[in-house]
Chains A and B, each alone.
Chain A
Amino acid sequence: MEQLVQKLKEEIITALNLSEMKPENIDEKAPLFVDGLGLDSIDALELTVLLEKKYGLKINTSEEGKKVLLSVNSMAEFIRENKKG
């Protein structure tokens, strides 16, 4: 799980071009959007694409998206629960 969190942080930094950010600057428990990292709706779409491309996982509704993309931890949790094999 810890490995996955670290990997996810790196992937998020690359996908969203957070060039000034290092993985240790991202708090895996903190909200990714608005108050926390300050991401927005476009970032949410980019993270949705990331999950599907890298992990083959699809987010089907915006409600589900809100839950999954809450924090790095919630994303990791979603991957762990749904990833087959």
Chain B
Amino acid sequence: MEAFINSLSAISPQNTFAEEKLLHEAREYNNVRFLRCVEPQYSTFIDPMASRRMSRIIKMGVCSAIKCLQEAGINNPDAIITGTGMGCVEDTGRFLASIFENEEKLLNPTPFIQSTHNTVGASIALILKCKNYNNTYGHRGFSFESALLDGIMMLQEEEANDILVGALDELTPDLFTITDRLGFWKKDPVNNLHLKDYRSRGSLAGEGTTFFSLSRTKNEKSFARIRSLQTFLKPAGQREIEKKLTDTDKPDLVILGINGNPPGDEIYNHLKSGIFVNTPAAYYKHLCGEYDTSSAFALAMAAGIIREQHVPDIMKLDSKPVGAIRNILIYNHLRNVNHSVIQVSSC
């Protein structure tokens, strides 16, 4: 079970979309409760006539997908597979609000037709005129991992050689307000680069779209390899998590899903002083914020670290010396319900 990464493209609160090098300069946000993406000039990538019905998340998703394919030199991927925890929140909210505001009469259909979870995957296919396999997963913190597993299966089944796998989630004002009422976020504004140091409950909200071009066999563009992938729902305890993590090869670096919420970060700290006591550790959610498919951003970071053989200081959790980076383990959980482990290696 493996897949080669040949290109990636991420629109995130960092400059990941424009920069060639990984986190050349980290963006610092002071006094914030959420992070929003640095958005590109969409018209460079999408014809305005084609984008006239696209909400922000659709534009971000399509744009990162198109750039990813361009870099891999793929015009017609054998599969387009996406994952999104919350889907097209803005369009869903707009249509719902219009139902109540207009008492169910004379509603504009556009937000409804654009509200389905597969809108981004479908829009990419429509622009490319790609008639191949197209699938979308929408399951909280498993959304991206499920898409990735589907993609890896496609490659393993030899049904596909080159595929596009991506993740997308957007933060809207209403989504923030509601999840804030649910207690997901820190009440006092923070500096994102110090996220792990706050003692208060909750995290920093975020968003992003991340796409990968994957292939079955190694080619001249390949720079990293996905080795294994596991998801598990509500594990019984720390023991079960440790077992899943020690089932993999010994990593040269572990990337943890620390999000600044002390109860949720407990497991990461336990692992850091336990099974990973001798392993250099890094984290990423201070860069992109917390959202359902943030593990896709983590995978982009991991692949970039392997390509450049360099861990940006801003991601490091300790000062342990990092040697050659051949094997990275990403461990993340979403609200202690959806746990996932992704193993990435050099080619």
Inter-chain contact A45/B109, CB cutoff 8 Å:
yes
Q: Is the CB of A20 within 8 A of B53?
A: no
Point out the residues of chain B lying under 8 angstroms from A20, CB to CB.
43, 48-49
- Asked if B107 is at the interface (CB within 8 A of a chain A CB), the reply is yes
User: In whole Å, how far is A25's beta carbon from the nearest beta carbon of chain B?
Assistant: 12
**Nearest-Cβ distance from residue B253 to partner chain A, whole angstroms:** 44
Bound-complex Cα distance A53 to B108 (A)? 10
Proximity bits, A7-38, B CB within 8 Å = 1, else 0: 00000000111111000000000000000001
Is A52 a contact partner of B109 (Cβ separation < 8 A)? no
**Contact of A42 with B by CB under 8 A:** yes
Contact with A along B40-71 (1 / 0, CB 8 A): 00010000110011000000000000000000
- Does A42 contact B109, Cβ atoms closer than 8 Å? yes
Bound: A13/B106 CA distance, A: 19
A68 at the binding interface (Cβ < 8 Å):
no
| Complex interface: chain A residues within 8 A of B107 (CB) | 49
In the assembled complex, B132 has its CB within 8 A of some CB on chain A: no
Which residue on chain A has the smallest CB distance to residue B114?
A42
Quick one: given A19-B48, A20-B48, are A42 and B106 in contact (CB under 8 Å)? no
Which residues of A34-73 are within 8 A (CB) of B? 38, 42, 45-46, 49, 52-53
Residues of A close to B113: CB separation below 8 A: 42
Q: Which of B104-139 contact A (CB under 8 A)?
A: 106-110, 113
What residues of chain A lie closer than 8 Å to B106, measured between beta carbons?
49, 52-53
Instruction: Please give the number of chain A residues whose Cβ is less than 8 angstroms from any Cβ of chain B in the complex.
Output: 13
Residues of B within 8 A of A18 (CB): 48-49, 52
Shortest distance between the CB of B324 and any CB in chain A (Å): 50
> Using a CB-CB cutoff of 8 Å, which residues 69-124 of chain B contact chain A?
106-110, 113
A15, A17, A18 — most chain B CB neighbours (10 Å): A17
Chain B interface mostly helix, strand, loop or mixed?
Answer: loop
In the assembled complex, the Cα of A15 lies from the Cα of B52 at a distance in Å of 10
Minimum C-beta distance from B109 to chain A (A)? 5
What 1/0 flags go to B127-160 for Cβ under 8 Å of A?
0000000000000000000000000000000000
Minimal Cβ-Cβ distance residue in A for B49: A38
What is the distance, in angstroms, from A65's C-beta to the closest C-beta of chain B? 14
Contact across chains for B108 and A49 when beta carbons are under 8 A apart? yes
Across the interface, do A16 and B109 meet the contact criterion of CB distance under 8 Å?
A: no
A16 to B113, CA, bound (A): 14
Taken together as a complex, chains A and B put the C-alpha atoms of A46 and B108 apart, in Å, by 6
From A58, which residue of chain B is reached at the shortest CB distance?
Answer: B106
Residues of B contacting A53 with CB < 8 Å? 106
Give, as a whole number of angstroms, the nearest-CB distance from B221 to chain A.
34
A53 CA / B106 CA spacing, docked (Å) = 7
Rounded to whole angstroms, the CA-CA distance of A18 and B47 in the bound complex is 11
**Judging by beta carbons under 8 Å apart, are B109 and A17 in contact?**
no
Q: Which residues of A contact B52 (CB under 8 A)?
A: 16-19
Q: Which listed residue, A19, A38, A46, touches B109 by the CB 8 Å rule?
A: A46
**B 16-49 binary contact with A (CB < 8 Å = 1; else 0):** 0000000000000000000000000001000011
Residue of B nearest to A18 (CB): B52
Q: How far is the CB of B218 from chain A (nearest CB, A)?
A: 42
Q: How far is the CA of A46 from the CA of B112 in the complex (A)?
A: 12
Give the Cβ gap from B53 to chain A, nearest Cβ, in Å. Answer: 7
Within 8 A of A (CB), among B149-185: none
Docked Cα-Cα span, A33 to B107, in Å, equals 21
Residues of A within 8 A of B109 (CB): 42, 45-46, 49
Residue contact B48 to A42, C-beta cutoff 8 Å: no
Complexed CA–CA distance, A16 and B108 (Å): 10
In the complex, which of the residues A19, A38, A46, A52 contacts B110, with contact meaning CB atoms closer than 8 Å? Answer: A46
Closest 5 CB pairs of A and B: A20-B48, A17-B52, A45-B109, A49-B106, A53-B106
Interface residues of A, Cβ cutoff 8 Å to B: 15-20, 38, 42, 45-46, 49, 52-53
Between-chain CB contacts (< 8 Å), 9 pairs: A15-B108, A17-B52, A20-B43, A20-B48, A38-B49, A46-B108, A46-B109, A52-B106, A53-B106
